[in-house]
Structure 1
Amino acid sequence: MMGIFSKYLLVDDDMDDLDFFCEVMEVIDPSAACYTANNGKEALELLDSNSTIVPDIIFMDLNMPKMDGKSCLKILKSNSAYKHIPVVILTTSSNLTDKEEVITSGASYFLTKPTSMNELHEKVLWAIHGLEERAASMTGNN
């Protein structure tokens, strides 16, 4: 599947989740670039250090050391260079307060981490399609 997005960043401190996500992205779009960071601080450093890595979508966990997903989201959405990038929260939390807080802070979606690769594939694909549809409707290309 080749869509309008080609660069993805997953911010998560769980190495298995990073690997699974990149495997899923390889299936969804083999030509896509999949970047990873282990926490919000590392993600911001990665973005600030290399303008060629600026992703089309950021998938981010909430609970991480050094800088959690909520703090990173707030910084991203307050930075003119990054506020346009859709952020999808992908977390083990199913807490409604967390969901409300991150959506209010600018996250596009709040997804609970799935327990299988198939479910991860479905959720990631659903989020990508939803964001592509939003982008197309904003540009009048739907």
Structure 2
Amino acid sequence: MFMVRIATSDLEREHAFSVRRKVFVEEQGVPLNLEIDDLDKTATHFVVYSSDTPIGAGRLRMTTDGVGKVERVCILEDFRGKHLGNLVMHALEEHAQETGLTKIVLNAQSYAIPFYEKLGYVVTSPEFMDADIPHRAMEKHILEPS
């Protein structure tokens, strides 16, 4: 059984970081100092678990203009293709709504654009490089909680 939890302890945050290190640093070659950054201190971290094993992660930051920014969404290779990306994105969006945000922005790796488009995100920029990986900015307006 899979579940998403908001990291509320140092251990849960370390679970998120360990998944991110495996996916972004080891798999994709992103330098560790770019992957784990100072923004982690104030972000809300989400961890996807299979039983008690961390297998996915993502973070949500509040930007200065009150918009939420989704970052670092990832699933371990052995668990991809099971719609767990949808699971973490829905948790991120639900939390954003609960905190009063009405818009989410993100920088998607270009290959992942179709995934985000299926969730209602639209591309808002030309392609740009981040950590030597092509990305495009995307956004989605979300409804306030009823």
TM bracket, shorter-chain basis: 0.3 to 0.5
Q: TM-score, normalised by structure 1?
A: 0.36
Whichever structure has more helix as a proportion of its residues is 1
Whichever structure has more strand as a proportion of its residues is 2
Q: TM-score, normalised by structure 2?
A: 0.35
